[in-house]
Amino acid sequence: MRKFDMTVKKTGFFLWPIVIILTIVFWEEIRTSNWYWQAIVVIGYLLLLGTLRSDADHRAEIDSYHNSVRVLISEKKYSEALKIAESALANSPENAPLLYAQGECHQNLGHIQEAEQAYLKATEVDP
């Protein structure tokens, strides 16, 4: 069973606690205020909802990176593929297909030790 995980983008990481605390502190004023202040609070929460990111969105982004790397490898553009793989691995360091693709790029570029390390790490990662 797949777990549903919501992560917060960097921009919303600091905003969520601040807005929640301010809402709790000023709840009575917000509740009894004019409709336009209530609308501003609702719009603020809707904007913050845009900072939420589901685990499925993250997986889709990583899959997109992996597909780009595979295309570049098939075109024998190993250094470009390696750059994309390494930038994607910065966001998802435990992704076995990306690690394997990184190892393949290193191998084709002649970086044997780096390729072995990437292949080894890819086999250690839980799929």
Tens of pLDDT along 32-52? Answer: 878 887 888 888 877 777 766
Domains of the chain, residue spans:
6-50, 55-124
Burial of 88 (0-12, 13-18, 19+ CB in 10 A): buried
Pick the CATH number of 55-124 from 2.40.50.100, 1.10.1660.10, 3.40.50.720, 1.25.40.10: 1.25.40.10
Contact 65, 97 (CB under 8 A): no
Q: What are 76-100's pLDDT values in tens digits?
A: 999 999 999 998 888 788 888 889 9
pTM to 2 decimal places: 0.57
Q: What is the mean pLDDT of residues 53-79?
A: 83
